[in-house]
Homo-oligomer: A and B are copies of this chain.
């Protein structure tokens, strides 16, 4: 009731606040805040994934609100679920909070994770709360179930003559989309159930680098069609080109954090059918290794495989 009243801080008070906000819906057999959390009991196999995001690298708390930060920290994990075409079921969040954060900031971050998760049927069911004197770190783990009758879509089964598609235009996500993108969970399941994809992956480190990972895993190469790729360049990439003199195409090839999907489809399906869910064709899988771009039918240029890579 007064500015003089000190804020009640501490891990215990924060967990109590979260318990009140989030409740027990995700954890039928173990209450929120126990040593472990329940994974929802599902038929079939479970997959899981973890992603760690750091202030100053993956988000900037001087610019972004803690609700937008929480949303992104979960969204990158949900994007991995999309890449495998599986259905997320629940998440855990471990955090090292900068001691500069207020209790309200911390609560905003963690409830944003839960609220965004619930829109994907993926509530926050537990975690670990720490603090320290360095920038905030958020590590989320998501479990997902493989829909019955289907398999996870791996990255190692692209085959020569398969076609390469992306789920949306690429490049320039740093202008804002890297914080606000919608993970392609629903679209991925639609693709997996109707189009028999041979491989999929989400674009977190740039089209060229992530596509090269599919090629390495599958033991093949690819050639992109320059005219097709032109149609897959985001307006943000063109806006960046005007600023930094790096071509919009290079932004589309090498910028990270598009979080669209690369989809490898068999050669024999009708392409109109593929375009329906918004897929954009960009090239073809080849037997020989390497990643190339064809500006005309006769001239091909190697695409340098670079993009965001940690620990260099």
Which residues of A43-92 are within 8 A (CB) of B?
45-52, 54, 56-57, 80-81, 83-84, 86, 92
- CA of A96 to CA of B106, assembled, Å: 20
Partner of A10, one of B29, B202, B309: B309
Cβ–Cβ < 8 Å partners of A10 in chain B: 309-312
- CA of A83 to CA of B10, assembled, Å: 23
Give the contact stretch, choosing among A150-158, A234-242, A284-292. Answer: A150-158
- CA of A51 to CA of B201, assembled, Å: 28
Determine if A3 is an interface residue (Cβ-Cβ < 8 Å): no
Contact between chains at A84 and B36 (CB < 8 Å):
yes
A35, A202, A309 — most chain B CB neighbours (10 Å): A35
- CA of A134 to CA of B57, assembled, Å: 11
Q: Looking at the assembled complex, report how far the CB atom of A61 sits from the nearest CB atom of chain B, in whole angstroms.
A: 14
Q: Which residue of B lies closest to A204 (CB)?
A: B35
Give the contact stretch, choosing among A136-144, A164-172, A266-274, A295-303. Answer: A136-144
Q: Which residue of B lies closest to A216 (CB)?
A: B12
Determine if A34 is an interface residue (Cβ-Cβ < 8 Å): yes
Contact between chains at B94 and A51 (CB < 8 Å):
yes
Determine if A227 is an interface residue (Cβ-Cβ < 8 Å): no
Determine if A217 is an interface residue (Cβ-Cβ < 8 Å): yes
Cβ–Cβ < 8 Å partners of A30 in chain B: 47, 84, 152, 154
Contact between chains at B311 and A139 (CB < 8 Å):
no
Determine if A182 is an interface residue (Cβ-Cβ < 8 Å): no
Give the contact stretch, choosing among A114-122, A124-132, A247-255. Answer: A124-132
Contact between chains at B45 and A41 (CB < 8 Å):
yes
Complex interface bits, A168-207 against B, C-beta within 8 A gives 1, otherwise 0: 0000000000000000000000000000000001100000
A54, A139, A152, A312 — most chain B CB neighbours (10 Å): A139
A41, A46, A81, A93 — most chain B CB neighbours (10 Å): A46
Partner of A31, one of B31, B97, B151, B154: B154
Kindly state the interface size class of chain A when it binds its partner: 35 or more
Determine if A228 is an interface residue (Cβ-Cβ < 8 Å): no
Q: Which residue of B lies closest to A133 (CB)?
A: B56
Q: Looking at the assembled complex, report how far the CB atom of A167 sits from the nearest CB atom of chain B, in whole angstroms.
A: 14
With A137-B137, A312-B10: A152-B36 Cβ-Cβ less than 8 Å = yes
Determine if A38 is an interface residue (Cβ-Cβ < 8 Å): yes
Contact between chains at B45 and A38 (CB < 8 Å):
yes
Cβ–Cβ < 8 Å partners of A129 in chain B: 310-311
Determine if A14 is an interface residue (Cβ-Cβ < 8 Å): yes
Cβ–Cβ < 8 Å partners of A152 in chain B: 29-30, 34, 36
Determine if A11 is an interface residue (Cβ-Cβ < 8 Å): yes
Complex interface bits, A98-128 against B, C-beta within 8 A gives 1, otherwise 0: 0100010010000000000000000000111
5 A-B pairs with C-beta separation under 8 A = A10-B311, A10-B312, A33-B217, A54-B96, A137-B139
